[in-house]
Amino acid sequence: MSMVNSGLSLEVRLDARLPTLSLSYRLSNKSGRDWGVFSRIPATRLDGTPSYAPAAIYVDIDDDTLQLGKYVLPLPPGLQVTYRVVPGITVLPSGEQLAERILLPVPVPADNPYRRASLSGANGGATIQASRPGLVRRMRLQIGAFPIEPGEKLLPLSPSFPGVFRVWPPGPATDAQLILAAELSFEAPLPILDYEVAP
């Protein structure tokens, strides 16, 4: 399935062969201008060092839909944060494509830090874990991108992450974020693990 918007097109393919879910997507740019793609979700390794792995993706569950995304997450109502997390950026020049393949374990566990924090606050600071079993029948992939303006600076994150940038100032790029989305249905219900309060 593909979605075309502002000269960008998103194509998605799924292969749900237990015990993994394989997701492949391709983002094509025929807009005539360069775009920044929020394609590198920040994480922290066990040794405390940062990671911007291409396979990292936000995971959420909405009724019978598995929500997967690489974009600047919206803040849930009432949640206050010290700073808004902005993913690392890859540049998608006009006329080129960005293609990635992501493997997720099945059952697919929820991974949305803002929703986890919101649920914790609503439950008196309780520990929230992805352990509640369920089934989904559809998948929605969302990719965030923004048109690179002349006054914006793309600064390399680190020599450890070649080709990954941060934008300065971040506000205009975040506000200009365009969400490209594509939806697919699973041939059979897919097991997931949603958030719940830890026992």
Rounded CA-CA distance 100/62 in Å is 24
pLDDT confidence of residue 34: 95
Domain boundaries, the chain: 2-197
Peptide bond into 19 cis (omega under 30): yes
Rounded CA-CA distance 143/61 in Å is 16
Q: Which residues of the chain have pLDDT under 50?
A: 1-3
pLDDT confidence of residue 49: 83
pLDDT confidence of residue 165: 96
pLDDT confidence of residue 5: 56
**Which amino acid is present at 122?**
A
